[in-house]
Chain A
Amino acid sequence: MTRPTPPVVTVSAGSRTISIDTGELLFPGIVLAFCLYYYWDTYALPDLSMLYAGPLLYATVGLAVVTILGQAISIDGDTGLERSERPPDEPPTESAELASEGATPETGTDDPAFTVRNAALLIGLTVVYIAVLDVIGFLVATIAFLAITLYLFGERDPTRIALYSVGVAFVVWIVFVQWLRVPL
């Protein structure tokens, strides 16, 4: 149930201390990296092509910088320009948003199968599944993915694992490949 909290880096500058919540840098960092690529890819385009996208790009960069300054950086214990939810050394909350966008609230479980490590492994398995789909084919890749993931989250009965993985893969194959003609 616990999850890794990105560290807060503290830097002393003269009499002042600057704290940087590295977790809060993650999304603005991704946005800035994307904006950099976007700029590199489009700077030579005609003005008309960038009439809307150009100002939007600069506005997005500006908002990313403001978000970093307001949410990730605090000076001398100041909680930032706009930070209202939490100080930098506390773990992030998952309150309103998860309950507002289609997620179920935190309920908690003592089941040792549900850990940050296993969630990270699930993401890793999904990456591998996507990568090998083309190589080994849909049915084999899907059956393997389902079996490994089910094992990861605590199922130990081989019969159940086999029935579940083959059954789910077969149903998905029937619906998407045979019925919808998706070229998986």
Chain B
Amino acid sequence: MIDVVFTPASIEAGLGILTDPYILLAIVLGTAIGVVFGAIPGFSATMTIVLFTPVTIAFEPTSALIFLVSAYGGAVYGGSIPAILINTPGAPGSVVTCWDGYELTKQGRAVYTLAVSAIVSGIAGLFAAAVLLVFAPPISSFALNFGPPEMFLLAVFALTIIPAAKGSSLSKALLAGAFGLLIGTIGNDPQLSQSRATFDQTALLDGVDFIVVLIGLFVLTEVFRLGYRGTVVTEDNDRTGGSLSEVYNGVRAVVSRPIETIRGMFIGAFVGSLPGAGADVANFVSYNEAKRWASDELASRFGNGTIEGVIAADSSNNATQGGALIPTLTLGIPGSGATAALLGAIALHGLNPGPGLFDSSGDIVYAMILSLFIGNVLILLYGVSGSQYFGKLAYIPVRYIIPAVTVLAIVGAFAVRNATVDLYIVLLFGIVGILFVAYDYPLVSIVLGVILGDIAESGFVTGWLLTGESATAFLFNSPIAIGLLVLTALSLVITVLKN
């Protein structure tokens, strides 16, 4: 079965795609745009992908998806720039980078720290791309054994693992996930084409587009919150100046600390591959491990401006990208907001996300994976040569960001399918997102629910009818189904114990 998806021919086809100059341009532009937007305070990788997805509608699928996956990598790295310069992480995975990165900036070592961040980010991204290339095909082949009941149970498992991974309240996470699944059923039912909860809107007969939901939850919510949070940035704080010799010192710092980089990469790739756990979790784990393995003298300096802390944070941060793409591309289960946005883009461009993706669009998927290698080399180059210039973006006053991003979110939501009702849906989810953040509901649960709605419904209905409408036959259909049931039970038990 592995031969079906993991053949030299499919890799060759992917490599062939990458020789197209337009594709290379998409990688160069995507990575640069990712770094630029990631470096703006308040802009995460998720927001970057979500906002640019409607813009890619005019692209053909391969270049659109490669552009977005490149922007993803760039934005993850870019998030470290404001973390280092102004103590404001551009993305959740850069929270830990602040701890030592900003301390080093205060000591006048901003360029040095930015260079180290760029180098370890690029190297970690390359490692994670290799992990993705090695592990994704066999997992994808295995996933082809999933029938309808298994797909339904996989969706249920994905929803139950979120509170276990994030430590959220079980009832809140499950309510958010169930609500998302219910939103996913709006529109014509797949069996008899009877309309369900469409509010008499013709556009909703095709359901609620989850790109619109993502724009509401991840972009509008964040913009509304910026409206009362603001940021602490002033131009007086600009510390991006510095000697180029500091870049050379940064290179030497990374070369002389290979263990720290390698440890962070492994932690990032592993944690990233777990659904529900992303760069935010990997960051903390890697930092704690680096501190635990350090000598007493070095450990005491963590948090006061030690470069080992930056290496631990940023190596794990960027390695999560490749790891997170494993469940996304092989099972159609995104583990984070950014990969959910990518999955949405995959569906928007006419590909079928899920276990059959490698089989049906192997050349495009391999081109996406292989583009990560080029993208991460670019991150390294962009970062080393120009992080102090990208750093200027960290000082853009937030009052200029709020109006423009609001307009982009509204227009982007409309552009998905030119439906007026989507303008109200994006606004509604922007407001619902505020409640989610204020009352500690996991956003990724509702997003997963909406995304997995189709898979869950078709899996349940087809499986139920195929297994003779018997709960026993449905739930215990195969060893895989039983395994998924056990995993679901385990994640529920872990969450209850954590709570």
A residues touching B (Cβ–Cβ < 8 Å)? Answer: 1, 3, 23-24, 26-28, 30-31, 34-35, 37-38, 41-42, 45-46, 48-53, 56-57, 59-60, 63-64, 66-67, 70-71, 82-85, 92-109, 111, 113-116, 118-119, 122-123, 126-127, 129-130, 133-134, 142, 145-146, 149-150, 153-155, 164-165, 168-169, 172, 175-176, 179-184
Contacts and interface: CB of A to CB of B under 8 A. Distances in A.
The 5 closest A-B pairs by CB, nearest first: A119-B227, A114-B230, A109-B230, A102-B46, A153-B399
B338 interface: yes
B90 interface: yes
Interface stretch (B343-351, B359-367, B402-410): B402-410
B1 interface: no
Contacts of B427: 126-127, 130
Contacts of B175: 27-28, 31, 60, 63-64, 66-67
A116 B438 CA distance: 13
A99 to B, nearest CB: 5
Contact of B58 (A42, A66, A180): A180
Interface stretch (B62-70, B299-307, B415-423): B415-423
B278 interface: yes
Between A60, A101, A109, A165, the greatest number of chain B beta carbons within 10 A of the residue's beta carbon is seen for A101
B431 interface: yes
A174 to B, nearest CB: 12
A41 B399 CA distance: 43
B439 A104 contact: no
30 contacts: A1-B229, A30-B435, A31-B175, A41-B196, A45-B189, A46-B194, A51-B460, A51-B464, A52-B460, A56-B178, A57-B182, A59-B178, A60-B178, A66-B175, A67-B175, A97-B441, A99-B89, A99-B92, A101-B336, A105-B88, A118-B227, A118-B228, A119-B225, A123-B227, A150-B400, A153-B398, A153-B402, A155-B400, A172-B407, A172-B408
Contact of A102 (B92, B228, B432, B438): B92
Interface in B89-117: 89-92, 95
A130 B423 contact: yes
Contacts of B192: 46, 48-49
B47 A102 contact: yes
Interface of B: 41-42, 44-47, 54-55, 57-58, 87-92, 95, 166-172, 174-175, 178-179, 181-182, 185, 189, 191-192, 194, 196-198, 217-218, 220-232, 278, 280, 336-338, 398-400, 402-404, 406-408, 410-411, 414-415, 418, 420, 423-424, 427, 430-432, 435-444, 456-457, 460-461, 464, 499
